[in-house]
Every structure is written in structure tokens, then in C-alpha cells.
Amino acid sequence: MSRTLVLILCFLSFSFHIQGQKPFEGRIIYDVEYVSFPDGMEGAELSLPQQVTMIVKGENLRIVQQSAIAGELLQIHKAGIDSVYQIFHFMQRHVLMVEPIEDKSIRFRVIEKDEIKNILGVDTRQMYLQSGTGENFYAWVDRKYLNPLKVELSGLKYLPLEYSIVRNGITMKLTARELKHEPIDNTYFMLPENIVRIRNSDLHKIMN
């Protein structure tokens, strides 16, 4: 077999693999494990979310976190919108903060590994994520579906069923405990009525 033919077959094989990826539609519930905290914050996990629910329809994404102290934090990212909507209750009001994706996302360089792990009946592949900020993690992904987490895991192509992130110096690991394929209505990605918009800088002033 000629070298040219081998290259063509390899290219076609790669192309078919990429084309086989589909946008995910359904919901995933992740358990949250808190791996490390900044000094002085040990034990804070008791007041932080223990589960995260992600509702996905292609590039439309709704993330719900619930904690005993802060209540519900809702994050919505709509397809084609370069901002993330964060919605929560504050001072007896429904509050909306809008943040550009470029202010929140960290782009990772992704290296695919050979290790396979079964999560909820899915044979996931291990990925090593490297960032320029020194935050390096492993993720386990379902390569049949595209990654909707373009903010937290920019650069990763596939749907993560287990991954780690850092928020405000806190390292946490999220592992899927429930995976459900189901039709998702577009109303999940609509903003609530009677909402008050606030800037991040104004919230910091109020809190301080």
C-alpha cells in the first residue's frame, strides 16, 4: 500500500470520527468533591454545593447549583451569545449578572491518553488538560458527544463525565452520578421575568 493511500485512509478515518460527534441533549447530575481550599477556608465545603445539574441542548446550557447558605445559583449560556448569564437571589430580589465568556474562560491544551474508565455505562477516555496558568487536570470524556462547557473547559472537544476545575482558589472534582438523554425544551434557557440586572463591581461594593 502506497504512503499516499495510507495518509488518505488515515484522514478519512479521522474525518468520520469527527463527523460522528453529536451535540448532547439531556441532563447530567454531577457529585462535587472539594479537593483543596486556600488557607483559612478548610471546612467551607459544608456551605458549598454538593451537586451540580447540567441541562444541555446542543450549545444551549443551563447549570444549576444549590447550597444550604447561598441557595440556588443558575447559570445560562445560549448558543451564539458570547456572554454567560448568572442568576441568583440577593436581598429578596432575582438578580442577573452578565459576564463575557472571555473574562471567565481558561483555554486548555488537551492531550488524549490511552486510559479508559467506565462511568454510568459509558467507556470514557482520559484527557489531560494543561493551561497557561498552571492549572493542569484530568478529564474523562464521552467522545460520541461534543463538549457544551465552552466556558469552564475551553479547548476540550468532548462531553466530560468527570473533570476538575478551580474556582476562587478552590479545587473541585465533578463526577457524573446520573446521565439522562431526553428532549429539552427551549424554555430552560429563557431568563426569568422581573429580574434586576447588577454589575459584578456593584455587587462587590455592596458585599464589602
Residue pLDDT, tens place only, 79-89 = 888 888 888 87
Whether 31 shows a pLDDT value over 50: the answer reads yes
Q: 11 falls in which pLDDT band (50, 70, 90)?
A: very low
Fold of 21-207: outer membrane lipoprotein receptor (LolB), chain A (2.50.20)
Statement: residue 1 has pLDDT above 60: no
Which tops the pLDDT comparison, 12 or 111?
111
Distance CA 135, CA 131 (A): 6
Instruction: Specify the higher pLDDT residue, 30 or 205.
Output: 30
* Per-residue confidence band for 191, with pLDDT thresholds at 50, 70 and 90: confident
| pLDDT score recorded for residue 49 | 86
pLDDT grade for 9, boundaries at 50, 70 and 90: very low
64 vs 200: which has the higher pLDDT: 64
The domain segmentation of the chain, as residue ranges, is 21-207
Is 202's pLDDT higher than 70?
A: no
List pLDDT tens digits, range 85-122: 888 877 667 788 888 877 666 788 999 999 999 999 99
30 grid coordinates: 454531577
The per-residue pLDDT for 165 is 87
As a whole number, mean pLDDT of residues 56-67 equals 91
Cβ atoms < 10 Å from Cβ of 188: 15
CB 160 within 8 A of CB 141: yes
**Does residue 51 surpass a pLDDT of 70?**
yes
- Cell numbers at 134, concatenated: 498552571
Torsion of CA 123, 128, 131, 137, to 10 degrees: 80
